[in-house]
């Protein structure tokens, strides 16, 4: 281990052998840090937090802090983080609210400076949260999603896989997979074509998403009729249609 003498690592913390901990870092007694992780100066990791491998934590980031939810009445909550994540300066990620609840973050995500993940959120993998963006409590953020600069997501919303909330937007309802929402409040403006191209979706797959967007947002059919149309074509691209159908059927707050 490479632990700076000015760091504070409380007894009980589990630190892998090749972890690097910089000056003035604080690591709490219930923290477990996986191999290859680097925690730069002045960062803090506390609470019942488990970090996987090869995470990069930049100065002044704060992981595992107590929830800001006023309903919190004590008890053991936690934070679970996968591998290969980047937490830039002043990023904050809080633990859960109720006894035994956790905030969960997948792998290979980038949280840019001053972004915030609140209590009880579930964040997938390959996500980008830009500077000053924030998730309220109980938000679910899908794989390859993008929350742009200064955007906010309301409690209990779901942002689907490969979806985007544009800069300075306010998402008050779910954003369906593959879609791009913008505005205050956010509305679905188009499908997230650039994200699909960057992730090497085929031309045929992108055309399916485009057709779904047209059916959902540019037809006068009722929702039940739209779901019927989508189910009829689900066999053509089950991974795409299946995600959309599931998201519509499980949109507790409705969708943008």
Strand 179-183 and strand 164-165: the pairing is parallel
Could you give the count of Cα atoms lying within 13 Å of 32 in the half-sphere of its Cβ? Answer: 11
Query: What's the mean pLDDT in 3-22?
Result: 97
- Return mean pLDDT, the chain: 96
Q: What angle do CA 140, 141, 145 make, to 5 degrees?
A: 165
219 confidence band (pLDDT: 50, 70, 90): confident
Q: How many CB atoms lie within 10 A of CB 119?
A: 28
Query: What's the mean pLDDT in 16-33?
Result: 97
Sign of the CA dihedral with 34 first, then 36, 37, and 41 last: positive
Positions annotated as catalytic residues are 119-120, 137
Share of the chain above pLDDT 70, in %: 100
Q: In the prediction, which pLDDT does 46 show?
A: 98
Q: In the prediction, which pLDDT does 223 show?
A: 80
Angle between helices 203-217 and 223-233 (to 10 degrees): 160
pLDDT one-digit tens code per residue, 77-119: 999 999 999 999 999 999 999 999 999 999 999 999 999 999 9
Domain boundaries, the chain: 2-138, 197-249
Q: In the prediction, which pLDDT does 189 show?
A: 97
* Alpha-carbon distance values, 201 to 42, 144, 162 (Å): 41, 13, 11
CATH of domain 2-138: 2.160.10.10
pTM of the model: 0.95
Q: In the prediction, which pLDDT does 222 show?
A: 85
Res 1 pLDDT > 80: no
pLDDT one-digit tens code per residue, 155-205: 999 999 999 999 999 999 999 999 999 999 999 999 999 999 999 999 999
């Amino acid at each position: 281990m490479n632990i700076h003498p000015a760091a504070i690592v409380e007894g009980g913390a589990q630190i892998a052998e090749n972890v690097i901990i910089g000056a003035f870092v604080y690591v709490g007694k219930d923290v477990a840090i996986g191999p290859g992780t680097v925690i730069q100066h002045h960062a803090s990791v506390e609470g019942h937090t488990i970090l996987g491998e090869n995470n990069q934590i930049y100065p002044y980031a704060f992981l595992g802090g107590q929830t800001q939810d006023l309903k919190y009445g004590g008890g053991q909550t936690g934070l679970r983080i996968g591998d290969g994540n980047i937490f830039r300066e002043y990023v904050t990620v809080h633990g859960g609210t109720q006894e035994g609840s956790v905030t969960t973050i997948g792998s290979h995500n980038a949280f840019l400076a001053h972004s915030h993940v609140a209590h009880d959120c579930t964040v997938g993998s390959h996500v980008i949260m830009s500077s000053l963006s924030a998730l309220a409590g109980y938000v679910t953020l899908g794989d390859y999603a993008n929350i742009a600069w200064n955007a906010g997501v309301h409690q209990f919303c779901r942002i689907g896989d490969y979806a985007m909330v544009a800069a300075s937007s306010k998402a008050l309802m779910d954003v369906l997979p593959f879609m791009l929402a913008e505005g205050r409040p956010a509305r679905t403006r188009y499908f997230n074509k650039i994200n699909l191209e960057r992730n090497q979706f085929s031309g045929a797959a992108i055309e399916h998403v485009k057709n779904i967007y047209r059916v959902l947002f540019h037809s006068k059919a009722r929702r039940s009729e739209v779901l019927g149309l989508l189910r009829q074509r689900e066999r053509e691209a089950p991974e795409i249609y299946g995600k959309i159908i599931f998201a519509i059927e499980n949109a507790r707050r409705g969708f943008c």
